Amino acid sequence: MSRWNFGNLGLSPATIKLIASSCPSNDLARTNKVFVNPSDLRTTSELAIINSKFVYVVSSHEGVEPSQIGFNAIQRRELRLAIRDHVEVTPLEWSKKSSIEAKAATFEVDLVSKRAGPIEAEADEITPLCVRNLVGHVSTVGQSYVIDFYGSSLLLKCTSLVAESTVERAILKPTTEFYFAKAPGSGVKIKGGDSRPKDVFRSDFDFEKMGIGGLDKEFSDIFRRAFASRVFPPAVIQKLGIQHVKGMLLYGPPGTGKTLIARQIGKMLNGKEPKVVNGPEILNKYVGQSEENIRNLFQDAETEYAEQGDSSELHIIIFDEIDAICKQRGSTNSSSGVGDTVVNQLLSKIDGVNALNNILVIGMTNRKDMIDEALLRPGRLEVHVEISLPDETGRQQILRIHTAKMQQNGMLDRDVNLETIAAETKNYSGAEIEGLCKSAAAFALNRHVDYRDLKKEVDTSGVRVTMNDFQRALVEVQPAFGMGKDDFARCLLGGFLIHGDRVRKALEAGKLFRNEVASSDRSPLLSILIEGPPGTGKTALAALLAVESGFPFVRLISPESFVGYSDFSKCQALAKVFDDAHKSSLSVIVLDNVERIFEWTPIGPRFSNSVLQTLMILAKQVPPKGRRLLILATTSNIQVMERLDFKQAFSAILSTQTMERNEIESVLDGTAESMNISQQADGTLASLHSSGLTPTLFRSLGERDMAVSLLENEQLGVKKLLMILNMARTPTSDGQHMIELDRLRAVLEDVL
């Protein structure tokens, strides 16, 4: 039997129609119940849905007329009721089995009277009042309650309910956790109110699906430093006495994914959409406008922080190419000084007197050295994350991303091995790997195009990207931080000749140092000085060690690279090469004819001290953690290296010498070991004689011995020896080439 007296009302049990009236008294108004006459309710308390909107606890009271129902002012306002309006009341059966119990409930707190002065309230003080007054109520999201807070009437509006998941309606129990936040425009300041764990990241985000690969470690660092503290409730952070990280800087070579992270970061975060701005967009020709553009970026965060305090949502501001607006102050020659004032404005917004705690500024640049150092200190852009060139695992991820649609649509041939391609793309950035995939696709499409008849319909059914297409693309798309192949091919044009034990030992020693750099954790930097007279094979030895190293970054720095450069420009160019080398996991730098690089001349004597000091500093600069560098320098004047203290900058010294008799004989007899890196049909060692021990360059052994004696007396290096032998050859009637002693003597007189 129902506890409602439907007979008295003359209504069906499903719905009861009553007339709205005011609450019997102010004290009863704070109970958040609604009241009916005892004749209309047989029990002292019941649950009912009013106008199909909110659930209230209904109690009987003699101060309410029969067929009426009494509401307080807040209830009438949220139900949009006037006195004497008709109200539909539906009894609610809320059994233990079917009830949804709230595990957590969040309320916005405001003052009932806007004329009341601002007050401060601790969350721990409001919670017991809610337990005493609200437990047993079935709350609905959007429903409001009034509680007495030490003489002040607080208005609590339910904003969220959590049971097993987020729900719209649930019963409040003594075990329910209550959380509080300041209502917009409220005069109540809540301390320690929002102690809920915050869900910063979306649960379904995946780097590979977002198009970002090879940055797992970098993202882990970003999360740990910039986002981990934001997952915890504000109350926990307040107890620790710390503030959230307000800024971080992503830096690294072009094409490694810095801007891509910025473009996708909004997809992996809950909350407000990040503001993405390119650095140059801030600048404006009108006085004060650039600074106002900076202020406008922070306006929304300031407004919300004033309303919500530490409970406000995270506002992310992303600056792409931040070096455009945050150069070192005082470094620009502009009379307006706009650049300096923009930096000052940004500094004050991030970490000024009225600093915000709900912002995260992310800057991106490939020129970290240009940014004002005040912006990089803790409290500002304090987290510095290098987005470097991807390793082999990262390159596989990037290749899978850019070939995913080919794979899904059956346009990637089965012979394509992404692991092999990843192994062959050392020092490729993410953008260059994307270009590689585009190039391979272009080769595949090209096979189906008839350039003689461009109007002919293209057959798309057989389009397949094969491994051969990728191999051709590897030749076409070269990494910016790869090997300068043309320079080293010139240094090894005639191959490398091992003409004796001294050369073999120097080569083996060089390989030993090279392997030490490649494999040992204790030697991230080794510098080798190769000295010897001109023409003794110093450059060829350094080039061979560099080319055979297999290191992904190999650079040749020679004096001709700096013709016409000022000292300042030369220092900048040298620093850039070393900076690029430090971005690769394994690097080799060859400094050829190093005394000419710093412009040594014996007349005076004269040299560029600024370039010399730059080289000395760079040669001793240890690469960053996880990076290794081998420096090979060549010189023909070891005495100069000693006088200028440049010799002490090197870890070891290798020497090349002029040729001895047995070494000359090995060249003439063809017993010298030739390592032909790049061989031409004419002018190489292979064209001097046929293989074997028979002396084919001379008519007899006697002439050969006399030639050896002539050459031995001249103290020749291997480079000059080969040149003289080539010049002394004369053609014979059978198409061969022989060396005549008279011609050899004439060449020696002319050359030497």
Whether 9 has a pLDDT exceeding 70, the answer reads no
CA dist list (Å): 187 to 108, 109, 184: 12, 9, 9
Render pLDDT for 101-150 as a digit per residue (tens, 0 to 9): 888 888 888 888 877 667 888 888 888 888 888 988 989 999 999 988 88
DSSP code at position 41: B
Tell me which residue of 422, 406, 405 sits closest to 414, measured CA to CA: 406
> HEC states along 729-746?
EEECCCCCEEECHHHHHH
Alpha-carbon dihedral of residues 160, 163, 164, 165, nearest 10 degrees?
A: -10
Backbone angles phi, psi at 58, to 5 degrees: -105, 125
Give the whole-angstrom CA distance, residue 109 versus residue 189.
Answer: 9
Angle at 599 (CA atoms; ends 595, 605), nearest 5 degrees = 95
Task: Report the first-to-last Cα separation within the chain, whole angstroms.
Answer: 127
Mean per-residue pLDDT for 699-716?
Answer: 82
Tell me which residue of 402, 411, 407 sits closest to 429, measured CA to CA: 402
- Look at residue 631 in the predicted model and tell me its pLDDT: 93
CA dist list (Å): 639 to 36, 533, 646: 110, 12, 10
Q: Please, are residues 524 and 623 in contact by the beta-carbon 8 Å criterion?
A: yes
Report residue 176 as tokens.
């329910």
Tell me which residue of 640, 566, 564 sits closest to 605, measured CA to CA: 640
Where are any strands of DSSP class E within 532-641? 553-557, 586-591, 628-635
Provide, rounded to the nearest whole percent, the portion of the chain with pLDDT above 70: 84
Which fold, 207-386?
Rossmann fold (3.40.50)
Q: What is the pTM of this model?
A: 0.65
Give the whole-angstrom CA distance, residue 605 versus residue 462.
Answer: 71
- Look at residue 235 in the predicted model and tell me its pLDDT: 67
Give the whole-angstrom CA distance, residue 230 versus residue 311.
Answer: 11
Q: Please, are residues 609 and 567 in contact by the beta-carbon 8 Å criterion?
A: no
Give the whole-angstrom CA distance, residue 196 versus residue 446.
Answer: 58
Backbone angles phi, psi at 712, to 5 degrees: -65, -35
Of the CA atoms within 13 Å of residue 692, those in its CB half-sphere come to: 5
Is the domain covering 104-191 a CATH 3.10.330.10 domain? yes
Q: How many beta carbons lie within 10 A of that of residue 725, not counting itself?
A: 22
- Look at residue 690 in the predicted model and tell me its pLDDT: 41
* 240 CB-near residues (< 8 Å, 6+ apart): none
Q: How many beta carbons lie within 10 A of that of residue 363, not counting itself?
A: 29
Which fold, 16-92?
Barwin-like endoglucanases (2.40.40)
Render pLDDT for 303-332 as a digit per residue (tens, 0 to 9): 888 777 766 778 888 888 888 788 777 766
- Look at residue 680 in the predicted model and tell me its pLDDT: 37
Tell me which residue of 92, 90, 78, 75 sits closest to 21, measured CA to CA: 75
Report residue 49 as tokens.
């849905």
CATH topology match: 207-386 vs 485-658: yes
Render pLDDT for 15-29 as a digit per residue (tens, 0 to 9): 788 899 999 888 888
Q: Please, are residues 721 and 748 in contact by the beta-carbon 8 Å criterion?
A: no
SS3 content of the chain, % helix, strand, coil (to 5): 40, 20, 40
Tell me which residue of 439, 442, 436 sits closest to 421, measured CA to CA: 436
Is the domain covering 485-658 a CATH 3.40.50.300 domain? yes
Mean per-residue pLDDT for 158-178?
Answer: 86
Highest mean pLDDT among 86-100, 248-262, 337-351, 408-422: 408-422
Give the whole-angstrom CA distance, residue 668 versus residue 728.
Answer: 13
Whether 339 has a pLDDT exceeding 70, the answer reads no
Render pLDDT for 172-209 as a digit per residue (tens, 0 to 9): 988 888 888 878 777 787 776 555 555 566 655 555 55
Mean per-residue pLDDT for 439-462?
Answer: 77
Alpha-carbon dihedral of residues 666, 669, 671, 672, nearest 10 degrees?
A: 50
> Average per-residue pLDDT in the chain?
81
Helices (H) and strands (E) in the chain, counts: 26, 29
Give the whole-angstrom CA distance, residue 350 versus residue 363.
Answer: 12
Tokens 């020092």 identify what position? 427
pLDDT confidence tier of residue 261, bands split at 50, 70 and 90 = confident
Alpha-carbon dihedral of residues 403, 407, 411, 415, nearest 10 degrees?
A: 90
The structural domains of the chain, with segments of one domain joined by +, span: 16-92, 104-191, 207-386, 392-476, 485-658, 663-751
Is the domain covering 392-476 a CATH 1.10.8.60 domain? yes
Give the whole-angstrom CA distance, residue 513 versus residue 525.
Answer: 10
- Look at residue 692 in the predicted model and tell me its pLDDT: 35
Render pLDDT for 652-691 as a digit per residue (tens, 0 to 9): 999 998 888 888 888 887 777 777 554 333 334 444 544 3
Amino acid symbol at 546: A
Highest mean pLDDT among 184-188, 265-269, 711-715: 711-715
